[in-house]
Amino acid sequence: DAKTTQPPSMDCAEGRAANLPCNHSTISGNEYVYWYRQIHSQGPQYIIHGLKNNETNEMASLIITEDRKSSTLILPHATLRDTAVYYCIVRASSNNNAGNMLTFGGGTRLMVKP
C-alpha cells in the first residue's frame, strides 16, 4: 500500500470548516483513499473513502486531486467532539483480499477549540 504524509497537528475553531490534507504521491491506480479517526480511548471510526471522484456523506467530504496524489478531508462545521487523531490510509482494491490490512501511520491530531 502507498505511504501517506499528514501534518502532525492542526487547530480549528468550533463551527468552522476543518480541512485536513494528505499526500499520497505514490498511490496506484487501484488504491482507495480512506479516512478514519480515533477519539481518545476509542476504536478507529470509519469516516469516508474514495477512488477518483469526490465523495460526501453525513460526516465529511473527501476531495481527491485529479492526479490522485493528494486529498483533503473536510469537516464542514467542526465541533468539540471532532477533536481526534485523523488517519489517511491508501488501500488496494483487490477484491476479497481480507489480508489487505489497514496501515495506520501517524495521523493528524485535530484540536477543535471553542
C-alpha cell at 89: 490510509
Among 4, 91, 108, 110, binds another protein (CB under 8 A): 91
Query: Are 8 and 14 a contacting pair, CB within 8 Å?
Result: no
**CB half-sphere exposure, 5, CA atoms < 13 A:** 6
Q: How far is CA 97 from the centre of its chain?
A: 22
What grid cell was written down for 32? 482507495
The single residue among 24, 34, 68, 88 that binds another protein, judged by CB under 8 A, is 34
Our CB check for another protein shows the closer of 23 and 38 to be: 38
The x, y and z cell numbers of residue 63, run together, are 476531495
Nearer Cβ to another protein, position 53 or 95?
95
Stretch that binds another protein, among 4-12, 61-69, 71-79, 93-101 (CB under 8 A): 93-101
- Should residue 45 be labelled a site residue for another protein when binding is judged by CB under 8 A? yes
- Interacting residues with another protein (CB under 8 A): 30-32, 34, 41-46, 49, 51, 87, 91-106
